[in-house]
RNA sequence: UCGGGUGUCGUCCAAUGGUAGGACAGCAGACUCUGGAUCUGCCUAUCGAGGUUCGAAUCCUUGCACCCGAGCCA
């Protein structure tokens, strides 16, 4: 192994951790955690965090990464999301062993912690209404005011907190607050709420609790309880860090080192769970796993591979600068992976019928086709050829421009792995003028795709034999939003207006080669010259094949066409 | 106006006082039974102004821009 083989990517977080280890700051091995809230599905932004946390643990001997659900708000969280999150993390390729934890596992200890702070006079029960609390908090520019309930006795606080826990008070009537500093320039330190009354059943603790800890009072302590050494989170928690420090110090418990990084943004999509949830709830997409969604379940259904996503996460790096990664990089990683792995088959999306006039009637030939030119071990297969075929409509032009070198009247091209054919006649619908079929001749000497006289053709087309082809429905996907940045200058509630109306096109009359018969859900392959596709895991049936286009191939011809169009359009 | 952050090619990430480099995107070409893949070449950047230094993306001063923060959300 050369040094470059094992060269791990580095970033400022890994640098800090390496330094901490060098200085012997922590007793045990590196211990991280991935802490999702089960209130939605995981998206590619979470993948960045998952790869970071599990990746760092894996890079150190004895390193561990926990999966912890931050389930402190029963009104927003659902058990359905937990299973989905587990599946997504596993699919991405990470293993948390038996270390699956829940903040709700710690409710008893958290309550004990709260009691301790109350006894020490560091927390109090406040009777202010939510509106009053906001008012008393002040603003970033002016100090807040202390609540009139701030100086209750320890006994009174203990009594009130216990009665909150027992359910004597309605939602919103009282909270437990930390007694810190109402004039602190960091708003998080102005007596933050630790517990609120919420008469709601919890998906794990049922009706055992009617008060629930705030995230700020649960997160740091959960990390401490689990012995996390490095608590990696996103930038918006940076100014919560002093508060976490305050709790940890007051409680005198293990103190992980928190490091913040910038969350991932991607062009042509949205990433916040709120927005994704809105797309789902308002029916702009078919669900969390709609193949256009940036969710892991959506990407999976679309045909993305875990390897491609991990590669992407490695390439985007980690930093503290707000950034928006071009979705083209994600697509590049995908193509690179699929190019190595996906078997090639032929299929026609917009069929144009071809009749080979000089081909013996009724004859069927079996031609050899390479399964994957990038991988000889993938072998070869037989593809049936006959006198009536379909080719792609886009592969013929009656009046071709200079740079078009596919089929045209009088022109010879190659049918992949088959024969050279020449177009001799164009048959049109008399009324509409639409081209309904092409008449061609073939050269029997070119069987397999090479001419004995070494003559060349400029194009090779994909095709299927009409009598042997399998019908399929094919869904073509494009960016969810046509704008690169749908968050820019847009009221949050209005962003669906920017949705790309052409993000999904369904083609119902496609044909694929017979080797795809009975293809299992999720199966992936390349349709030569068209792109990578997979069998839809939800809608495909034995007798009704449904394919998703995962991503197109790089398409130089499309680029030329676009450029020409732009030139003419001015 | 307060607190916390961040400013390097179009985009993302490096360079930690010593030649500003890589990837994606773009452009041009080679090759090709996928206009795929592959290969080659090209293009473009240190937020501004001062200073320290033989030498500054990096240190200092100052200005500017952008992001986060006033949930009983996470």
pLDDT digits (tens, 9 = 90+) for A322-340: 999 999 999 999 999 999 9
| Strand nucleotide closest to residue A340 (CA to C1') | B37
Is pLDDT at A90 greater than 90 in this prediction?
yes
Q: What is residue A488's predicted lDDT score, i.e. its pLDDT?
A: 78
pLDDT digits (tens, 9 = 90+) for A337-358: 999 999 999 999 999 999 999 9
Q: What is residue A7's predicted lDDT score, i.e. its pLDDT?
A: 42
The residues, any chain, with a CB within 8 Å of residue A433's CB and separated by 6 or more, are: none
Q: Does the CB of A150 sit below 7 A from strand B?
A: no
Q: What is residue A569's predicted lDDT score, i.e. its pLDDT?
A: 64
Q: In this predicted complex, what is the ipTM?
A: 0.97
Percent of chain A with pLDDT over 90: 94
Q: Hey, what are A402's tokens?
A: 């200079």
Is pLDDT at A382 greater than 50 in this prediction?
yes
pLDDT band of residue A512 (cuts 50, 70, 90) is very high
Q: What is residue A570's predicted lDDT score, i.e. its pLDDT?
A: 47
Q: What is residue A565's predicted lDDT score, i.e. its pLDDT?
A: 81
Q: Provide residues 252-311 of A with CB closer than 7 Å to any strand B atom.
A: 262
Is pLDDT at A4 greater than 50 in this prediction?
no
Q: Does the CB of A445 sit below 7 A from strand B?
A: no
Percent of chain A with pLDDT over 70: 98
Q: Does the CB of A470 sit below 7 A from strand B?
A: no
Q: Does the CB of A332 sit below 7 A from strand B?
A: yes
Cα–Cα distance for residue pair A392/A335, rounded to 1 Å: 22
Is pLDDT at A490 greater than 80 in this prediction?
no
Is pLDDT at A37 greater than 50 in this prediction?
yes
Q: What is residue A152's predicted lDDT score, i.e. its pLDDT?
A: 97
A217 close to A247: Cβ distance less than 8 angstroms: yes
**Average pLDDT of span A244-253:** 98
Q: Does the CB of A147 sit below 7 A from strand B?
A: no
Q: Does the CB of A193 sit below 7 A from strand B?
A: yes
Of A404, A43, A33, A435, nearest to A225 (Cα)? Answer: A33
* Protein-contacted bases of chain B (C-beta within 7 A): 1-8, 10-14, 16, 22-27, 33-38, 66-74
Burial of A257 (0-12, 13-18, 19+ CB in 10 A): middle
Q: What is residue A3's predicted lDDT score, i.e. its pLDDT?
A: 30
pLDDT digits (tens, 9 = 90+) for A159-203: 999 999 999 999 999 999 999 999 999 999 999 999 999 999 999
Among A80-89, A144-153, A490-499, A526-535, the range scoring the smallest mean pLDDT is A490-499
pLDDT digits (tens, 9 = 90+) for A268-325: 999 999 999 999 999 999 999 999 999 999 999 999 999 999 999 999 999 999 999 9
pLDDT digits (tens, 9 = 90+) for A114-161: 999 999 999 999 999 999 999 999 999 999 999 999 999 999 999 999
Is pLDDT at A477 greater than 90 in this prediction?
yes
pLDDT digits (tens, 9 = 90+) for A213-240: 999 999 999 999 999 999 999 999 999 9
What length is written for chain A?
Answer: 570
Q: Hey, what are A220's tokens?
A: 């740091």
| Strand nucleotide closest to residue A531 (CA to C1') | B36
Cα–Cα distance for residue pair A535/A540, rounded to 1 Å: 7
pLDDT band of residue A6 (cuts 50, 70, 90) is very low
Q: Hey, what are A492's tokens?
A: 């949050």
Is pLDDT at A8 greater than 90 in this prediction?
no
Is pLDDT at A441 greater than 50 in this prediction?
yes
**Average pLDDT of span A531-549:** 97
Q: What is residue A475's predicted lDDT score, i.e. its pLDDT?
A: 98
Distance in angstroms, CA of A241 to C1' of B49? 35
Q: Are strands A230-234 and A531-535 parallel, antiparallel or unpaired?
A: unpaired
* Mean pLDDT for all residues in chain A: 96
pLDDT band of residue A566 (cuts 50, 70, 90) is confident
Long-range contacts of A326-333 (CB under 8 A, 24+ apart): A326/A267, A327/A266, A327/A267, A327/A268, A327/A269, A327/A479, A328/A267, A330/A44, A330/A266, A331/A551, A333/A308, A333/A309
């Amino acid at each position: 192994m050369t040094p470059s083989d094992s060269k791990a990517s580095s970033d400022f977080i890994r640098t800090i951790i390496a330094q901490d280890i060098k200085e012997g700051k922590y007793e045990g091995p590196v211990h991280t955690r991935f802490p999702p809230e089960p209130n939605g599905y995981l998206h590619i932004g979470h993948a960045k965090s998952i790869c970071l946390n599990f990746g760092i643990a894996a890079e150190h001997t004895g390193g561990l990464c926990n999966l912890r659900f931050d389930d402190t708000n029963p009104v927003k969280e659902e058990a359905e999301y937990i299973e989905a999150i587990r599946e997504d993390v596993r699919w991405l390729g990470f293993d948390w062993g038996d270390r699956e934890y829940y903040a709700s596992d710690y409710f008893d200890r958290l309550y004990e912690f709260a009691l301790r702070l109350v006894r020490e006079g560091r927390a109090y029960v406040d009777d202010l209404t939510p509106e009053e609390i906001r008012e008393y908090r002040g603003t970033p520019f002016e100090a807040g005011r202390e609540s009139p309930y701030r100086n209750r006795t320890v006994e009174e606080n203990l009594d009130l907190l216990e009665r909150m826990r027992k359910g004597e008070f309605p939602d919103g009537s009282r909270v437990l607050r930390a007694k810190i500093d109402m004039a602190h320039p960091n708003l998080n330190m102005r007596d933050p709420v630790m517990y609120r009354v919420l008469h709601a059943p919890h998906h794990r603790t049922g009706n055992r609790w009617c008060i629930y800890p705030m995230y700020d009072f649960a997160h740091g302590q959960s990390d401490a309880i689990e012995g996390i050494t490095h608590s990696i989170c996103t930038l918006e928690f940076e100014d919560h860090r002093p508060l976490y420090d305050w709790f940890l110090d007051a409680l005198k418990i293990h103190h992980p080192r928190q490091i913040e990084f910038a969350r991932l943004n991607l062009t042509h999509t949205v990433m916040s769970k709120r927005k994704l949830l809105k797309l789902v709830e308002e029916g702009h997409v078919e669900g969390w796993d709609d193949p256009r969604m940036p969710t892991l379940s959506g990407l999976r259904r679309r045909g993305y591979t875990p390897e491609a996503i991990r590669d992407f996460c490695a390439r985007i790096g980690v930093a503290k600068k707000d950034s928006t990664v071009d979705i083209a990089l994600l697509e590049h990683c995908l193509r690179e992976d699929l190019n190595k792995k996906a078997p090639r088959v032929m299929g026609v999306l917009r069929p144009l019928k071809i009749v080979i006039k000089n081909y013996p009637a009724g004859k069927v030939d079996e031609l050899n086709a390479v399964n994957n030119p990038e991988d000889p071990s993938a072998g070869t297969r037989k593809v049936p050829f006959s006198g009536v075929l379909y080719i792609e409509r886009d592969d013929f032009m009656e009046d071709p421009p200079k740079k078009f070198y596919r089929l045209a009247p009088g022109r010879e091209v190659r049918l992949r792995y088959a024969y050279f054919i020449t177009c001799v006649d164009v048959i049109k619908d008399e009324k509409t003028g639409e081209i309904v079929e092409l008449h061609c001749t073939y050269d029997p000497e070119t069987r397999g795709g090479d001419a004995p006289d070494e003559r060349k053709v400029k194009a090779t087309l994909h095709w299927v034999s009409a009598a042997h082809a399998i019908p399929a429905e094919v869904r073509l996907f494009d960016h969810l939003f046509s704008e690169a940045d749908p968050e820019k200058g847009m009221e949050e509630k209005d962003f669906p207006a920017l949705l790309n109306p052409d993000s999904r096109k369904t083609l119902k009359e496609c044909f694929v080669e017979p080797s795809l018969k009975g293809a299992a859900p999720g199966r992936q392959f390349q349709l030569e010259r068209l792109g990578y596709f997979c069998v839809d895991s939800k809608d495909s049936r034995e007798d009704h094949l449904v394919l998703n286009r995962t991503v197109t191939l790089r398409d130089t011809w499309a680029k030329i066409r676009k450029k020409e169009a732009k030139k003419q359009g001015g």
